[in-house]
Amino acid sequence: MTPAGTVDLRLHSVDGVLCRVERHLQVSLDRGSLVRKRRSVGAATERGTWVRIERRPVSRVDTQGWNGAETAAALTGVSAPEWFAGVSWREGQEAVWRADETALLPDAPVQSGTLTAHPALPDEWWNQLSASLDALAAQSTSRVATPDTATMTQARVTGAIRRTFSPAFDTTTSIWLPAHADLNWANVTAPRFCLFDWEDWGMAPLGLDSASLWANSLAVPDLAERVWAERRRDLESRDGLLMAMFCLSKIVGDYADPADPKLRPAQQAAARIIGELVDH
């Protein structure tokens, strides 16, 4: 369901927004480098940095503050772009805009959209992924993760799993740790690893990030197996299995797409994990 006030920035004029960002951050944006997504746009600057601009409905701006990229700058041991500056403003009663200037990514994102071919990542990439996720989980924060811009709660986890799978097992999570909360192949770079787009990070049940990357890999079985093997410690815990089910519910739930190459593998994985949770 699309929240009230949502605008698709791939179709919406952003000329005025770009000019406002240039004024506030005192940068010149390269319009030729502009990348437009559904709820964000980004562009390189004349000083060799990157500016990401996002629009959210007021209802989706959490009370903890909308400064994920800024607060992530304090994280240690995590491979992420350096943050330099940010600015935000309200647009009437409907929306809030935020722009953040960061260092350029070291390489291109692995994939935009559904990954359907193995990216053949080097072992060092996998090492950096695990080192970053482990370092992130060891941090301390009062933020609560907002995957898909909605606050993560136990009720949300239980609702998603019960609505989709009608399980005969307890859906209560027990360990909450800091998570990126939007870990997919569009938010990591290769061959040098870097994790970006930190707008939604915060506390979440153990295994959310690992489960998210795994679920986003299901169209490529060998890749999904590699993610699971690398993050086995998270994913084979009870909370990790619940997070796998939470992520699978987004693929096989109410808005399942019959053409999604992840759908059939997700259904098979759900059947397996339900059995493990019942016996866990």
Are the C-beta atoms of residues 172 and 154 closer than 8 Å to each other?
A: yes
**Mean pLDDT over residues 6-16, rounded?**
90
SS3 percent helix, strand, coil of the chain, rounded to 5, is 40, 20, 45
Rounded CA separation 154/173 (Å)? 7
DSSP for 114-163 reads ---S-----HHHHHHHHHHHHHHHTS--S-B--GGGS---HHHHHHHHHH
pLDDT over 90, % of the chain: 85
| 141 within 8 A of 203, measured Cβ to Cβ | yes
**pLDDT for residue 1:** 41
Counting DSSP H helices and E strands in the chain, the numbers are 9, 7
Summarised one tens digit per residue, pLDDT across range 160-202 is 999 999 888 999 999 999 999 999 999 999 999 999 999 999 9
Cα distance between residue 191 and residue 107, in whole Å: 7
Say if domain 15-103 classifies as CATH 3.30.200: yes
**Is residue 260 predicted with pLDDT exceeding 50?**
yes
Mean pLDDT for the chain overall: 94
> Sheet containing 35-36: which strands, arranged edge to edge?
35-36, 40-44, 49-57, 95-103, 83-91
**pLDDT the model gives residue 64:** 63
Q: Which long-range contacts (CB under 8 A, 24 or more apart) does 21-25 make?
A: 21/51, 21/53, 21/87, 21/99, 24/87, 24/99, 25/51, 25/85, 25/87, 25/99, 25/101
Q: Of 148 and 126, which is predicted with more confidence?
A: 126
Strands 176-179 and 83-91: unpaired
Q: How far apart are CA 259 and CA 122, in angstroms?
A: 30
Residue 158 pLDDT > 80, yes or no?
yes
Residue located via tokens 């986003």: 216
pLDDT at residue 269 greater than cutoff 60: yes
| pLDDT, tens digit (0-9, with 9 covering 90-100), for 46-77 | 999 999 999 988 877 766 667 899 999 999 99
Contacts of 225 (CB under 8 A, 6+ apart): none
What angle in degrees, to the nearest 10, is found between the helix axes of 238-252 and 154-165?
A: 60
pLDDT at 104 over 50: yes
Verify cis geometry, omega within 30 degrees of 0, for the bond prior to 191: yes
Ranges of each domain in the chain: 15-103, 123-279
Q: Architecture of domain 123-279 in CATH?
A: Alpha-Beta Complex (3.90)
pLDDT for 124: 98
pLDDT for the residue 3: 47
In the structure, what pLDDT confidence band is assigned to residue 210 with cuts at 50, 70 and 90? very high
Structure tokens at 65: 């503050």
179, 210 Cβ separation under 8 angstroms:
no
Rounded CA separation 19/42 (Å): 13
In this prediction, residue 2 carries a pLDDT of 45
Q: Ramachandran region of residue 276, left (φ > 0), alpha (ψ -120 to 50) or beta? A: alpha
Q: pTM for the whole thing? A: 0.92
